[in-house]
Chains A and B, each alone.
Chain A
């Protein structure tokens, strides 16, 4: 029984080890560089939204001219 428990504990430690071994962008997070990526993504999306709004305003004007 004791043997089984220790075997189980050993297996469990392997499982947790394997979990910790998965490589993630921890460095980027710790030195804050991930915020640069976030900034770039947000700027691009702000640009797209501004473009959509301008396009819609222009359409409003053309539709008004039509009527």
Chain B
């Protein structure tokens, strides 16, 4: 248990604890319609701000795999994409709950929501593609190239297209961003630590997935799963 090796996990946990405490206890701006739900900014938006760096790390490992063909880079690209998808599911589900109480519908016709749904399908296809190829070299290369496409499409669908049309989300279409009028400095002091904390926590999850993945390459994967679960 060397501190030099595990400090970033502790930092991530501490930042998340701080954001949970400050996110519920600190003062927030009194805004109509949003009311107390403005606090969801600390939790719901953090999921998306975690997913994007995890997907970026995944693409970097995919590019590395294309240049060095190492099985480790391929496995890392996969586990980071899996963890990113996990955070995007959390982001979507929490966003649906928030949308119900502020925009009046679980899935309002919003370009950002639709873009997110498309993005999740694109990443779903990434895992189907991986599952359908048996040859590890072929699987690594083809899925690495697909992953680059998937990342670019994600940026287009959730970062660019919603900004070009009308959207309910702040910072998109005609709507001003949270930053312009209601993400005051008190909220920033909670939101940014929350994002950093969740990114570190996401890297930790990806690391554990990676170790399980590497172990199950040599063993029957069912044995490993049973050993971890008991």
Contacts and interface: CB of A to CB of B under 8 A. Distances in A.
Interface in B186-230: 204-205, 208, 211-212, 215, 218-219, 224, 227-228
Contacts of A45: 16-17, 20
B111 to A, nearest CB: 28
B20 A24 contact: no
Contacts, number: 50
A34 B17 CA distance: 16
Contacts of B30: 19-20, 22, 24
Interface residues of A, number: 22
A9 interface: no
Nearest to B31: A22
Specify the main secondary structure of chain A where it touches its partner.
Answer: helix
A62 B218 contact: no
Interface of A: 18-20, 22-25, 34, 37-38, 41-42, 45, 49, 52, 55-56, 58-59, 62-63, 66
6 contacts: A22-B35, A42-B17, A49-B13, A56-B208, A62-B215, A62-B224
